[in-house]
């Protein structure tokens, strides 16, 4: 590992300054209370809204707009960095709020050259876009796969560097895990990730704060295929089809173990979902 990859700070800080003030457009996802999905149980602050609608929550207070005018540095930022920092969430998004039969497929822990190319091939065959929450330590070793994800229009998100239980880390450790991973993604793709997902679905206040500082929104999931337990391809397919519904976000894995079942399951459930009229898409920000 190169030493410069261990220092997430400087460019991220510059990016944060440059980000202040533009209009946020996250708005297709909702959070909600749920005891069974999304891994959101780790953080359930009392008194928070049960449903935070994206557009209102993400629109940003007006003070930020005036802050933008008081920030001369932003005038010199490249246009792609003029994106508002998202608000600090109290829980992750669990599903899309967009009307209609839309679903999001997400793949975590990769990229892994044994499985990710097969998943990319299937997604390409059906011309659909998905999300890949990559680990920095995998991404830095398989940059070509990261490029292929982006070339095919998929969204590359941040899943920490080494997949730790971040609720056990001090804030500096969370910052390092998320920051280094964002740096690798930006190095390879030219733009930093806009989404992150906590390993094991274990979120905490610091991770929401640091994720927001890095310009990312937290995304959990609605339906967990539990594919990591290798329950059998047919079981994975059944879980996806039984969990399918408008706005559902599906969690699967393209790395972290033997993912042959996950690869085979996608080949089966993707055409079924499309036949059922679902549009497989990615959230916009
Ligand atoms: Zn994971």
The domain limits of the chain are 3-280
Percent of the chain whose predicted confidence (pLDDT) is above 90: 68
134 and 181 Cβ atoms separated by less than 8 Å:
yes
Q: What is the whole-number distance in angstroms between the Cα of residue 159 and the centre of ligand 1?
A: 7
Q: What is the whole-number distance in angstroms between the Cα of residue 126 and the centre of ligand 1?
A: 25
181 and 207 Cβ atoms separated by less than 8 Å:
no
219 and 196 Cβ atoms separated by less than 8 Å:
yes
Residue 89 has pLDDT above 70, yes or no: yes
Q: What is the whole-number distance in angstroms between the Cα of residue 278 and the centre of ligand 1?
A: 25
Residue of 118 and 75 predicted with greater confidence: 118
Query: Tens digit of pLDDT for each residue in 129-143?
Result: 999 999 999 999 999
Q: What is the whole-number distance in angstroms between the Cα of residue 19 and the centre of ligand 1?
A: 28
Q: What is the whole-number distance in angstroms between the Cα of residue 109 and the centre of ligand 1?
A: 5
State the Cα–Cα distance between residues 171 and 128, nearest whole angstrom: 37
> Which residues are known to be catalytic?
108, 253
Q: What is the whole-number distance in angstroms between the Cα of residue 164 and the centre of ligand 1?
A: 9
Query: Tens digit of pLDDT for each residue in 269-285?
Result: 999 999 999 999 999 88
Lowest mean pLDDT among 83-97, 137-151, 223-237: 83-97
State the Cα–Cα distance between residues 118 and 108, nearest whole angstrom: 14
With cut-offs at 50, 70 and 90, classify the pLDDT of residue 84.
confident
Instruction: Provide the pLDDT for residue 10.
Output: 39
Query: In the predicted model, what is the mean pLDDT of residues 250-255?
Result: 98
Query: In the predicted model, what is the mean pLDDT of residues 41-66?
Result: 33
Q: Which two tokens stand for residue 172?
A: 């500096």
Residue 44 has pLDDT above 60, yes or no: no
Query: Tens digit of pLDDT for each residue in 99-110?
Result: 789 999 999 999
Residue 51 has pLDDT above 70, yes or no: no
217 and 87 Cβ atoms separated by less than 8 Å:
no
Q: What is the whole-number distance in angstroms between the Cα of residue 251 and the centre of ligand 1?
A: 9
With cut-offs at 50, 70 and 90, classify the pLDDT of residue 91.
very high
- CB atoms under 10 Å from CB of 93, counted, come to 29
With cut-offs at 50, 70 and 90, classify the pLDDT of residue 31.
low
Question: Domain 3-280 class?
Answer: alpha beta
Q: What is the whole-number distance in angstroms between the Cα of residue 262 and the centre of ligand 1?
A: 14
Q: What is the whole-number distance in angstroms between the Cα of residue 181 and the centre of ligand 1?
A: 14
Round to the nearest angstrom and report the end-to-end CA distance of the chain. Answer: 31
Residue 67 has pLDDT above 50, yes or no: no
């Amino acid at each position: 590992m190169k030493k410069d990859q261990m220092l997430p700070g400087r460019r991220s800080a510059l990016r944060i300054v440059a980000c202040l003030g533009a209009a946020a457009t996250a708005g297709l996802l909702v959070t909600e209370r749920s005891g069974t999905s999304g891994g959101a149980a780790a953080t359930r602050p009392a008194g928070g809204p049960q449903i935070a609608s994206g557009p209102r929550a993400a629109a940003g207070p007006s003070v930020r707009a005036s802050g933008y005018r008081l920030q001369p540095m932003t005038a010199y930022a490249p246009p792609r960095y003029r994106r508002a920092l998202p608000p600090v969430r109290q829980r992750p998004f669990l599903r899309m709020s967009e009307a209609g039969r839309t679903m999001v497929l997400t793949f975590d822990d990769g990229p892994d050259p044994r499985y990710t190319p097969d998943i990319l091939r299937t997604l390409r065959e059906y011309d659909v876009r998905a999300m890949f929450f990559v680990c920095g330590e995998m991404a830095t070793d398989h940059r070509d796969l990261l490029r292929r994800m982006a070339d095919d229009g998929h969204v590359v998100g941040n899943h920490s560097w080494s997949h730790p239980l971040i609720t056990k880390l001090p804030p500096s450790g969370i910052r390092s895990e998320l920051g280094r991973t964002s740096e690798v993604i930006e190095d390879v793709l030219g733009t930093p990730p806009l989404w992150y997902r906590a390993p094991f679905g274990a979120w905490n206040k610091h991770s929401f704060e640091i994720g927001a500082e890095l310009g990312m929104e937290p995304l959990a999931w609605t339906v967990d295929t539990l594919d990591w337990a290798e329950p059998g391809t047919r079981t994975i397919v059944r879980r996806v089809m039984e969990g399918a519904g408008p706005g559902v976000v599906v969690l699967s894995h393209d790395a972290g173990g033997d993912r042959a079942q996950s690869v085979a399951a996608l080949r089966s459930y993707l055409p079924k979902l499309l036949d059922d009229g679902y549009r497989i898409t990615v959230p916009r920000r």
